[in-house]
Amino acid sequence: MAADDAVVVVNGLNFDQRHGKERVRVARVWRTKDGRHFIVEWSVGISLMSDCVAAYVSDDNSEIVATDTMKNTVYAKAKECSDQISVEDFAILLAKHFTSYYKQVTAAVVKIAEKSWERVSVNGQPHNHGFKLGSEKHTTEVIFKKSGALQVSSGIEELSLLKTTQSGFEQFFRDKYTALPETRERILATKVSASWRYSFESVSSIPKQQCYFTETYLDVKKVLADTFFGPPKEGVYSPSVQYTLYEMANNVLSRFHVISSVRLKMPNLHFLPVNISTKDNRSIVKFEDDVYLPTDEPHGSIEACLSRLSSKL
């Protein structure tokens, strides 16, 4: 479902416009009766498709929803959420508001990135109000039309994964410019960007359980990581980043039938063997799968999308 399908003709030219507010930062704390606190920190982006062409072509601002109003709406709606809410549900709430509250708004796109504040433990006990910041971000994009048509996507950004063995790269195409040696023993490190689209097409088709999307996000993240690492003792061999990426995406689709497609981008962050020698000393540092030079510039870039045959990409 495209959100930008309201192209109009102006002075003999196709014209498509939208406006919104980016990087609206908001944090929300919920407190339970037993003294436990919960916190989310979001960066919200809003884009509205609306009937305000006159503002562009005839100096008439009467139909513009001010972007400052959009910012204030984020805080007002966060305040209204008396119960803990997932980032996806908050994005849906905002998108529904903008399309229903303003007659001139035909569709809304809401994108939110959530920082991963995680509860800390002290002396083995979960702290009531102490949190530490993880590395990855939970993302969502919601497209909602005045007709009620809905599209929900979720994702992960900057999920850092590394294993020190059970990875190799062999029998790849070689030509006169190829210098890379083959290996069955290397570090595999990446920073995963993943996004997946749910099959829900209306708000009524979403399960009613609280924080459904948050739980699904955590489950998807676990499937991605578990596939990458393999069993805790023996692991699983990766013959290429491409092979591991496909296995990760395929396992997500196999496990979650409400997900219609998944896209993964996995840079190959290199750990280069360190060998240092001089004419007088051949083994200042002799590499024995132990000392590496970490570098992410340049790095390999591997990306793919896997979707069900019935999926609408």
Q: Catalytic amino acids?
A: 21, 67, 270
**How far is 161 from 264, CA to CA, in rounded Å?**
13
Q: Do the beta carbons of residue 171 and residue 181 sit within 8 Å?
A: no
List the helix and strand counts (H, then E) for the chain.
5, 10
171 dihedral zone (left: phi>0; alpha: psi -120 to 50; beta): left
> How is 120-163 classified by DSSP, letter by letter?
EEETTEEEEEEEEEEEEEEEEEEEEETT--EEEEEEEEEEEEEE
* One-letter amino acid of 53: V
Spell out the residues 6+ positions from residue 181 whose beta carbon is closer than 8 angstroms to its own: none
Assess contact for 120 and 107: CB atoms under 8 A: no
Indicate the SS3 state at residue 240.
Answer: coil
Cα distance between residue 246 and residue 113, in whole Å: 25
Task: Report which of 116, 101, 118 is spatially closest to residue 46, judged by C-alpha positions.
Answer: 101
